[in-house]
Amino acid sequence: MPSLVSPLLTIILPVFGLVFAGYACRKLNTLGPAAASELNRFVVYLALPALLFDVMAKTPWAMLDQPAFIAAFGIGSAAIFLLTLIVRLMQSRHLADASIDGLNAAYPNTGFVGLPLCLLAFGKESLAPAVIATILTVCVLFAVAIVLIELGLQTQKHIAATLGHVAKSLLKNPLLIAPVAGALLSSSGVRVPEGAQALLRLLGGAASPCALVALGLFLGAKGEARDVRTTSALVALKLVAQPLLTWCLAFHVFHLPPLWAKTAVILSALPTGTGPFMLAEFYRREGGVTSSAILFSTVISLVTVTFFLTVML
């Protein structure tokens, strides 16, 4: 297993490098106080929609026909998300903020860390489950959180008016429109032209780096309170509870093939991705807990992910 520790560190280090670049730019005032928000808006309106559209447009429907894997990974994520959401609502947390906290505890960094890590640990055969897990995370779980945030932000008292406003907001949200459009294109059998494909690659490739730089800019700002207790609980749920639950589901409930079961566990054990931070910034919600959860879960995952790899390999 020591042979995998160095590659894992190599995969994680660029994450810290991009976060530090943003942090340094903010501390040196190279980028101003509005930079984090504006860079995040670029990610939300251009880069991430391009990435989501590209992923869905290139994913054949037949590849997604893995109900046991989808159930094992999906139920693991959904259970942790719902548990966190309910507990935070019971603590009088606003629905929008509780939804983001749910993502903090259940949103693994499958794209930036998961895909290269699975390739290193399990080979090319693990890329199919890794792509499915990425779609479940960045499309399905993300979409559920957006719907809940929109519901929480509506001030209409009449249920019909509230649902109407939510529907209008969702129909204008590029993070929901893009994957749906990509899925429809995939099902139609139409291929994206090469020029458009190149554009999608350029924009989509900027999503994770820009989001991480924006996170660093946010961390470099002054005066943001840190809730250590909440952050610790969210990191524990993400790095320990979610992979253990997925382990039980993958190996003992759905009896997945060994490679698919191991991939599900490792993907669920990954640190929190940048998605929750994007939503916190986009909807102007408190971001201290979210930024801390991403940062500390990434650091601690060097130990926890290595542990899960050691046990399974």
Tokens (6 digits) for 309: 């790899």
Class of the CATH domain delimited by 2-312: mainly alpha
For residue 37, which of 210, 174, 173 has the smallest C-alpha distance?
Answer: 210
Checking if the pLDDT of 170 tops 60, the result is yes
Q: Where are the domains of the chain?
A: 2-312
Pick the closest to residue 311 from 257, 237, 258, 234 (CA basis).
258
pLDDT, tens digit, 9 for 90 and up, residues 266-287: 999 999 988 898 889 888 888 8
List Cβ neighbours of 44 (8 Å cut-off, separation of 6 or more).
174, 175, 278, 282
Q: What is the mean pLDDT of residues 78-90?
A: 96
Question: CB of 263 within 8 A of CB of 289?
Answer: no
Report pLDDT for 1: 46
Structure tokens at 299: 């650091």
pLDDT tens for 183-201 read 888 888 888 888 888 999 8
Tokens 């903010």 belong to residue: 26
How remote is the C-alpha of 115 from its chain's centroid?
13
Helices (H), 115-193: 115-122, 127-135, 142-153, 159-171, 174-188
For the full predicted model, state whether its pTM sits above 0.85: no
d(CA 54, CA 63): 15
**Unique residue bearing structure tokens 């447009």:** 57
Average pLDDT value for the chain: 86
